[in-house]
């Protein structure tokens, strides 16, 4: 297992080795490429990203002060919001015209900053609903159990495997509404994995998670990279970012201000200014 | 006063034709509101589509009975599509507003004087139900008895000793057909709900954005629920029109939709048998209160100075409304709902 771990990290590091630390830097093998993405709410320009490429198979952290536009950018990329302009490609396909469910089906699956557990459904049901392209989800096939029972059993087996991994297996028959905030975060992530995504986008996955769970969540995210998945996640805690990210993109006031390895970013004066500026603004309020 | 009679009457009604109309309407609503979370406040209009679809086809267009049924069902589908396409991508309240308005528009059109030559205006229509009653497989003079069930000149009686259920020749047929429909629909619905398809509906009720993020075409699922629930509403309309052998526009007011909701919440939303139990209890309570009060007044148990018989109707609805409020306070999950499910803050 530890050899595998090294393989994934090594590949990601190698792919990003020669990439210059500047906003919009081209990547060796970008799974996501976005250009000129802009979203304004009335007069407020929430997102205005000139160009960004996300390296396939790497863990990329998206950081930036509160209100920088990270969540809005996620919403745009995943079809939950429409940009004023801009275009992007995911895995070689135009994705900016897709509806949110089509984006998810094409392999780019997101989680939400405010967790969206399906409260009055069990943990297992939450997982099963995540499985993609189920025959039993078609109206015409639904009443005929024999058409989908086998598929359902396979999905359930996969769901239980994932729940095992996320330490939620003993909660399988509990309502999702009964879980703690941290457990819901885990459930949401596990549920997203039911779709077998190529890229998973996690909006503040660590927020509200207790330190013990946090560590295991970090391990899970690292495991995803070993499985060849691309991870883009929003996080505030630079220590966390240092620990797992191969690459860091920094947003401030809607723009991508810089990119680089975690070490490069920590040393970047613009990043420090952006955060300090935000704190400074906040202090004035 | 005759309590036995009052009780027998109420019990007769509790599983009778009108109760079946409430049950069917609420079953459709259960799929839409109970399982999918869609706020359809126009179920009365879907029932009207069925009732008027049938009546207009048979009376105004001279089509055969079964064509009337097909047209009624199609009319409900078309209405669901018309209401759903512009609203189901928007926030939940848009559907509520549009359905409430549509129901009123349908009723106004049905009672409009311009078309009253065809629709009968506010008087409505009759003369479409004969083919239905000609299907009755027993004769008007049929007489038999088996244990406590008997038929006397085509009329059905079920004698439990202390009380007796009695149904007319035609009501018996409406009930046989109606209960068969309820049974078939509930079986299909149970299969649907306990399938991955039903799981997606419940997911949409809980949080449609989450379901969207998992690659489901939420709009298509909502539309399917709206159409299917609307079709069941139209079937309620058939039973309603046939059991009374007429249609009248003012039967399809928002009150009608409101009673479907009462029935659903009383029985327990998102439970397969909720609407049937709710309808039986609702219609039993309504009848026992109404009949009981009327009997009590005519037997001078309640003096006319306190209340006279014309005030019974409003009083019963007041009491039922009060009961509904108490129910929501003390048993919000209804008769067979799941209390635990209500404990989570859903939004
Ligand atoms: N629906 C909206 N309407 C108006 N303004 C919004 C909306 N969503 C986000 N914003 C604004 O856009 C900016 C970026 O917000 P957001 O993307 O949530 O930032 P972040 O996730 O980086 O903290 C903020 O100033 C926020 O107030
Ligand atoms: Mg955010």
Give the count of alpha carbons within 13 A of B227, CB side only: 15
Environment class of A153 (CB within 10 Å of its CB; exposed 0-12, middle 13-18, buried 19+): exposed
State whether A80 and A96 are in the same domain.
yes
Tell me which residue of B288, B257, B289, B279 sits closest to B336, measured CA to CA. Answer: B279
Q: Locate A256 and state its tokens.
A: 């991508």
Judge whether residue B343 has pLDDT over 70: no
pLDDT at A1: 47
Judge whether residue B233 has pLDDT over 60: yes
Nearest CA in chain B to A177: B344
How does pLDDT run across B153-191, given as a tens digit for each residue? 889 999 988 889 999 999 999 999 999 999 999 999 999
Last residue of a domain, one of A178, A208, A228: A178
Buried b (16+ CB within 10 A) or exposed e, B303-316: eeeeeeeeebeeeb
For residue B291, how far is its CA from the centre of ligand 1 (angstroms)? 61
Q: What is the ipTM of this complex?
A: 0.92
State which of A274-278, B3-7, B103-107, B118-122 shows the largest mean pLDDT. B103-107
- pTM for the structure as a whole: 0.93
**Which of A80, A119, A125 minimises the CB distance to B199?**
A125
pLDDT at B347: 40
B3-342 topology per CATH: ABC transporter involved in vitamin B12 uptake, BtuC (1.10.3470)
State whether A159 and A210 are in the same domain.
no
State whether A106 and A203 are in the same domain.
yes
How far apart (Å, rounded) are the C-alpha atoms in residues A263 and A245?
10
pLDDT at A283: 46
**Which of B214, B218, B224 minimises the CB distance to A130?**
B214
State whether A22 and A113 are in the same domain.
yes
Judge whether residue A41 has pLDDT over 60: yes
How does pLDDT run across B90-135, given as a tens digit for each residue? 888 899 999 999 999 999 999 998 998 889 898 999 999 999 999 9
Judging contacts by C-beta atoms under 8 Å, the chain A residues touching residue B187 are: none
pLDDT at A48: 96
Cβ separation of B217 and A101 shorter than 8 Å? Answer: yes
Tell me which residue of A182, A144, A149, A142 sits closest to A166, measured CA to CA. Answer: A182
pLDDT at A146: 96
Give the count of alpha carbons within 13 A of A228, CB side only: 4
State whether A136 and A251 are in the same domain.
no
Select from B205, B215, B333 the residue whose CB has the most chain A CBs within 10 Å, as the one to mutate to test that interface: B215
What value does the mean pLDDT take over residues B233-248? 97
State whether A160 and A274 are in the same domain.
no
Ligand 1 pocket mutation pick from A42, A46, A251 by most atoms within 8 angstroms of CB: A46
Total number of domains constituting chain A: 2
Kindly report the CATH number assigned to the domain that includes residue A22. Answer: 3.40.50.300
Judging contacts by C-beta atoms under 8 Å, the chain B residues touching residue A138 are: 197
| N-terminal to C-terminal alpha carbon distance within chain B | 52
Could you tell me whether strands B155-159 and B164-167 are parallel, antiparallel, or unpaired per DSSP bridges?
antiparallel
Judge whether residue A278 has pLDDT over 60: no
State whether A82 and A133 are in the same domain.
no
Count the neighbouring beta carbons within 10 Å of the beta carbon of residue A202: 27
Cβ separation of B198 and A125 shorter than 8 Å? Answer: no
Q: With a 6 A CB cut-off, is A31 part of the ligand 1 pocket?
A: no
Cβ separation of A192 and B210 shorter than 8 Å? Answer: no
How does pLDDT run across A55-97, given as a tens digit for each residue? 999 999 999 999 999 999 999 999 999 999 999 999 999 999 9
Ligand nearest to the CA of A203: 2
Judge whether residue A284 has pLDDT over 60: no
pLDDT band at B298 (very low <50, low <70, confident <90, very high): confident
- Residue A143 has phi, psi (to 5 degrees) of -70, -15
Nearest CA in chain A to B344: A177
State whether A106 and A11 are in the same domain.
yes
Judging contacts by C-beta atoms under 8 Å, the chain B residues touching residue A154 are: none
Q: With a 6 A CB cut-off, is A101 part of the ligand 1 pocket?
A: no
pLDDT at A2: 52
Question: Could you give the percent of chain B with pLDDT greater than 70?
Answer: 98
How far apart (Å, rounded) are the C-alpha atoms in residues A134 and A118?
19
Q: With a 6 A CB cut-off, is A136 part of the ligand 1 pocket?
A: no
Cβ separation of B210 and A116 shorter than 8 Å? Answer: yes
Judge whether residue A285 has pLDDT over 70: no
How does pLDDT run across B48-92, given as a tens digit for each residue? 999 999 999 999 999 999 999 999 999 999 999 999 999 999 888
Whether the Cβ atoms of residue A33 and residue A88 lie closer than 8 Å to each other: yes
pLDDT band at B331 (very low <50, low <70, confident <90, very high): confident
State whether A89 and A170 are in the same domain.
no
Environment class of B125 (CB within 10 Å of its CB; exposed 0-12, middle 13-18, buried 19+): buried
State whether A252 and A216 are in the same domain.
yes
Nearest CA in chain B to A151: B196
How does pLDDT run across A98-142, given as a tens digit for each residue? 999 999 999 999 999 999 999 999 999 999 999 999 999 999 999
- Domain presence at residue A68: yes
State whether A112 and A244 are in the same domain.
yes
State whether A42 and A85 are in the same domain.
yes
How far apart (Å, rounded) are the C-alpha atoms in residues A87 and B167?
69
What value does the mean pLDDT take over residues A245-254? 94
pLDDT at B346: 46
- Report the mean per-residue pLDDT for chain B: 93
Q: How many CB pairs under 8 A join A and B?
A: 113
Atom of ligand 1 nearest to the CA of A70: 22
Q: With a 6 A CB cut-off, is A82 part of the ligand 1 pocket?
A: no
User: Which segments within B138-252 are labelled E, that is strand?
Assistant: 144-146, 149-152, 155-159, 164-167, 246-247
Last residue of a domain, one of A129, A146, A178: A178
Domain that holds residue A126: 118-178
For residue A114, how far is its CA from the centre of ligand 2 (angstroms)? 9
Cβ-based neighbours of A270, under 8 Å, separated by 6 or more: A250, A257, A258
For residue B66, how far is its CA from the centre of ligand 1 (angstroms)? 57
Question: Could you give the percent of chain A with pLDDT greater than 90?
Answer: 71
For residue A72, how far is its CA from the centre of ligand 1 (angstroms)? 6
């Amino acid at each position: 297992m530890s050899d595998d771990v090294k393989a994934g990290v090594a590949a990601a590091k190698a792919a990003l080795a020669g990439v210059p630390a500047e906003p919009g830097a081209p990547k060796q093998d970008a799974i996501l490429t976005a250009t000129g993405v802009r979203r304004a709410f009335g007069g407020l320009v929430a997102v205005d990203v000139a160009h960004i490429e996300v390296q396939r198979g790497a863990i990329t952290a998206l950081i930036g002060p509160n209100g920088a536009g990270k969540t809005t950018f996620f919403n745009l990329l995943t079809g939950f919001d429409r940009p004023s302009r801009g275009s992007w490609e995911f895995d070689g396909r135009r994705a900016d015209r897709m509806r949110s469910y089509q984006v998810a089906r094409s392999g780019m699956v997101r989680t939400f900053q405010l967790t969206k557990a399906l409260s009055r459904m069990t943990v297992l049901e939450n997982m099963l609903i995540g499985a993609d392209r189920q025959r039993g989800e078609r109206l015409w096939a639904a009443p005929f159990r024999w058409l989908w029972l086998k598929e359902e059993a396979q999905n359930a087996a996969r769901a239980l495997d994932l729940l095992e991994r996320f330490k939620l297996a003993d909660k399988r028959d509990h309502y999702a509404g009964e879980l703690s905030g941290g457990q819901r975060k885990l459930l949401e992530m596990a549920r997203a994995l039911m779709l077998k995504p190529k890229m998973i986008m996690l909006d503040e996955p660590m927020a509200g998670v207790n330190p013990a769970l946090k560590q295991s969540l970090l391990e899970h995210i690292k495991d995803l990279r070993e499985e060849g998945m691309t991870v883009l996640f929003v996080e505030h805690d630079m220590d966390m970012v240092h620990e797992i990210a191969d690459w860091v993109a920094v947003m401030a006031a809607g723009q991508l201000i810089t990119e680089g390895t975690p070490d490069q970013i920590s040393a970047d004066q613009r990043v420090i200014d952006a955060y300090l500026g935000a704190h400074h603004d906040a202090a004035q309020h | 006063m005759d309590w036995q009679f009052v009780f027998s009457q109420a019990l007769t009604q509790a599983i009778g034709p009108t109760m079946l109309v409430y049950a069917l309407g609420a079953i459709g609503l259960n799929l839409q509101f109970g399982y999918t979370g869609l706020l359809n406040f126009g179920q009365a209009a879907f029932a009207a589509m069925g009732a008027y679809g049938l009546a207009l086809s048979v009376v105004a267009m001279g089509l055969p009975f079964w064509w009337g049924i097909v047209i009624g069902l199609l009319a409900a589908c078309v209405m669901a599509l018309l209401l759903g396409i512009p609203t189901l991508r928007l926030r939940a309240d848009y559907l509520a507003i549009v359905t409430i308005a549509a129901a009123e528009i349908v009723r106004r059109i049905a009672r409009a004087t311009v078309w009253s030559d065809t629709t009968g205006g506010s008087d409505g229509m009759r003369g479409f139900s004969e083919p239905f009653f000609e299907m009755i497989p027993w004769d008007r003079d049929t007489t038999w008895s088996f244990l406590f069930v008997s038929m006397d000149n085509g009329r059905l009686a079920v004698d439990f000793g202390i009380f007796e259920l009695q149904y007319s020749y035609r009501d018996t047929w409406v009930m046989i057909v109606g209960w068969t429909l309820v049974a078939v629909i509930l079986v299909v619905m149970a299969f649907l709900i306990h399938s991955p398809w039903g799981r997606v509906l419940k997911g949409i009720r809980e949080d449609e954005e989450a379901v969207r993020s998992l690659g489901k075409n939420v709009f298509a699922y909502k539309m399917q629920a709206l159409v299917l629930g609307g079709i069941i509403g139209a079937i309620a309309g058939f039973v309603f029109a046939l059991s009374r052998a007429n249609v009248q526009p003012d039967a399809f007011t928002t009150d009608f939709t409101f009673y479907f909701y009462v029935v659903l919440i009383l029985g327990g939303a998102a439970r397969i048998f909720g609407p049937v139990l709710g309808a039986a209890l609702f219609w039993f309570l309504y009848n026992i209160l109404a009949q009981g009060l009327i009997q009590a007044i005519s037997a001078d148990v309640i003096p006319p100075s306190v209340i006279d018989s014309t005030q019974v109707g409003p009083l019963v609805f007041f009491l039922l409304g009060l009961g509904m409020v108490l129910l929501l306070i003390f048993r919000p999950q209804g008769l067979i709902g799941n209390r635990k499910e209500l404990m989570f803050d859903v939004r």
